[in-house]
């Protein structure tokens, strides 16, 4: 599997660049709204919450609006860093990512994570 992945990257070097660009844009839009996404450049983009309960409530709201996100809480992460786990991939269009940001914004405002 690793060899096949390297072959794909060698055959289409623009794919990692495109994924990086989409991830950066997505993360920047979330940060502009006031979300803490920690530092990092991977396509796994966390949205830090204040409590496990808040993470669960936000995940439910997002899922009700058609956005699948997972709440990640203690013991998987420190008690002080509950989060939603979001992932960007190349099957997500810019419009998909814009919709995800809008959905997260709605849930974040409803749960008091952002103002």
Q: Is 29 contained in some domain?
A: yes
Rounded-to-integer distance, Cα 58 and Cα 29, Å: 18
Structure tokens at 8: 């794909």
| pTM beyond cutoff 0.85 | yes
Taking only the tens place, the pLDDT of each residue in 57-98 is 999 999 999 999 999 999 999 999 999 999 999 999 999 999
Domains contained in the chain, number: 1
How sure is the predictor about 9, in pLDDT bands with cuts at 50, 70 and 90?
confident
Average pLDDT over residues 49-57: 98
- Domain containing residue 31: 2-110
Tell me whether residue 53 is in a domain: yes
CATH number at residue 16: 3.90.1150.10
What tokens were used for 45? 């983009």
- Report if residue 115 sits inside a domain: no
Half-sphere exposure of 19 (CA within 13 A, CB side): 15
Residue 72 included in any domain: yes
């Amino acid at each position: 599997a690793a060899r096949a992945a390297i072959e794909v990257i060698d055959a289409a070097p623009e794919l990692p660049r495109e994924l990086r660009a989409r991830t950066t844009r997505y993360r920047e839009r979330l940060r502009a709204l006031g979300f803490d996404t920690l530092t990092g450049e991977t396509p796994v983009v966390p949205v830090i919450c204040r409590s496990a309960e808040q993470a669960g409530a936000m995940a439910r709201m997002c899922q009700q609006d058609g956005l699948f996100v997972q709440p990640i809480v203690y013991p998987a992460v420190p008690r002080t860093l509950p989060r939603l786990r979001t992932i960007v991939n190349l099957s997500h269009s810019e419009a998909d990512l814009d919709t995800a940001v809008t959905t997260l914004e709605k849930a974040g405002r409803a749960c008091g994570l952002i103002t």
